[in-house]
Amino acid sequence: MSAQEADSPEPATTATIEQAITRAHREEWARVVAGLARRFGDLDVAEEAAAEAFASAAERWPREGVPPNPGGWLATTASRKAIDRLRREAQRDAKHQAARLMFDDTPPAPTGPVEDDRLRLIFTCCHPALAVEARVALTLRLLGGLTVAEIARAFLVPETTMARRITRAKAKIKGARIPYRVPSADDIRERLAGVLAVVYLVFNEGYLAGEGDDPVRGDLTDEAIRLGRLLRTLLPDHGEVTGLLALMLLTDARRHARVSRTGELVTLDEQDRGAWDRTLLAEGNALVRERIEAVATRGDLPGRYQLLAAINVVHTDAPSARDTDWSTIVALYGRLLLLDPSPIVRLNRAVAVSEIDGPGVGLAEVDRLAEALDGYHAFHAARADLLRRLGRSGESREAYDRAIGLAGNPAERAYLTRRRDQLAG
């Protein structure tokens, strides 16, 4: 008896059924697509069969009831949809190899240190042979279940452009025979870094959108956190996976305090800390403490995301902005520089230094980054604030103008404009 036949439906109201379908899509989409991709070795087949299965659920569950095991029902239905498609293609195009897969139920050979279809799918979507834009699009489509229209809207490109991007990425995976597998234990660290970078890119685009009319896109931050939780489930002992999830939780906890009712960015020192999400803060803090204990007991070396999460803990632990432990933050940025000596890390450290040694010292460090960061709006915003604190209003106004011209986020532009207009003279 199949899983589908074994599942006797249970009656439910229309609202309950809609909630069940929504929950199943959120919880089971990635699992269903990943399982199909492993079995049939074709991302197009996996995606389309999964979509057809959810369409069948939307049609049949209101009439027949929600099955006791929605995930099993969806997986069985999707497999049958995939088989039907391959049978039609085999009959039409004589694709005997594809047809053979219809009857191949043998378990797959071991493909990596972590045996989970979703992890294999993540590494396929984020393969370094693909452009970063393609990795993001595939991850959101195949792991997140977002529609092409939703992804296109989030990244402000036409739907046809995003569809072509996804199609080309899947074609490259097939044409280059990129294996659907988790990397070996020897190189998982190197490959995982690219996966984490994609998830963090999705989070940042949602948390402070680079372009468009919406300053914050909660759907993207929520999706990034969901992917982070999935990675944490699959790789619970990896420090940087835990660090990234902690970083996103601690940052997202401040989401509702970051934009005013008038649509202006509210900086960390001006935020209402009572509006922060204490549940997310507690979860993020617990993950950081877990990593601190691992460093103390096992001698693990904290990576970039763990250090950024620790910096966020220092910020969010302070009862007010003036109580912030800036010395610890400067020290953490100093450790981060050893791993990532980028101009942006140096800029953030310089801002922290200015809170201890004064705006003059901070400005001197910031100005050393002028050549590298001249096109970065946050560099000019930092200069503008330091010049304002030094009483150099004319130079500050010029820096604000430059920052406003480069900023793509409407909430940031509104904040910078107000600060510029408050300058004396």
pLDDT tens, position by position, 347-405? 999 999 999 999 999 999 999 999 999 999 999 999 999 999 999 999 999 999 999 99
Chosen CATH of 347-425 out of 1.25.40.10, 3.40.120.10, 1.10.3470.10, 3.40.190.10 = 1.25.40.10
pLDDT band at 5 (very low <50, low <70, confident <90, very high): very low
pLDDT band at 213 (very low <50, low <70, confident <90, very high): low
Going by C-alpha positions, the residue among 348, 257, 265, 362 that lies closest to residue 311 is 348
**What mean pLDDT do residues 310-337 have?**
96
Average pLDDT value over all residues in the chain: 85
How far is residue 384's CA from residue 396's CA, in Å, rounded to a whole number? 4
The pLDDT of residue 154 is: 67
How far is residue 215's CA from residue 259's CA, in Å, rounded to a whole number? 8
**What mean pLDDT do residues 277-303 have?**
90
**What mean pLDDT do residues 329-333 have?**
97
How far is residue 57's CA from residue 49's CA, in Å, rounded to a whole number? 12
How far is residue 371's CA from residue 343's CA, in Å, rounded to a whole number? 10
Most distant CA pair in the chain: distance in Å? 82
Pairwise pLDDT comparison (155 vs 8), residue with the higher score: 155
The pLDDT of residue 90 is: 66
How far is residue 244's CA from residue 123's CA, in Å, rounded to a whole number? 17
The pLDDT of residue 309 is: 97
The lowest-confidence range among 45-54, 145-154, 270-279 is 145-154
Q: SS3 string of the chain? A: CCHHHHCCCECCCHHHHHHHHHHHHHHHHHHHHHHHHHHHCCHHHHHHHHHHHHHHHHHHHHHHCECCCHHHHHHHHHHHHHHHHHHHHHHHHCCHHHHHHHHCCCCCCCCCCCCCHHHHHHHHHCCCCCCHHHHHHHHHHHHCCCCHHHHHHHCCCCHHHHHHHHHHHHHHHHHCCCCCCCCCCCCHHHHHHHHHHHHHHHHHHHHCCCCCCCCCCHHHHHHHHHHHHHHHHHCCCCHHHHHHHHHHHHHHCCHHHCECCCCCECCHHHCCHHHCCHHHHHHHHHHHHHHHHHHHHHCCCCCHHHHHHHHHHHHHHCCCHHHCCHHHHHHHHHHHHHHCCCHHHHHHHHHHHHHHHCHHHHHHHHHCCHHHHCCCHHHHHHHHHHHHHCCCHHHHHHHHHHHHHHCCCHHHHHHHHHHHHCCCC
Going by C-alpha positions, the residue among 135, 116, 146 that lies closest to residue 199 is 135
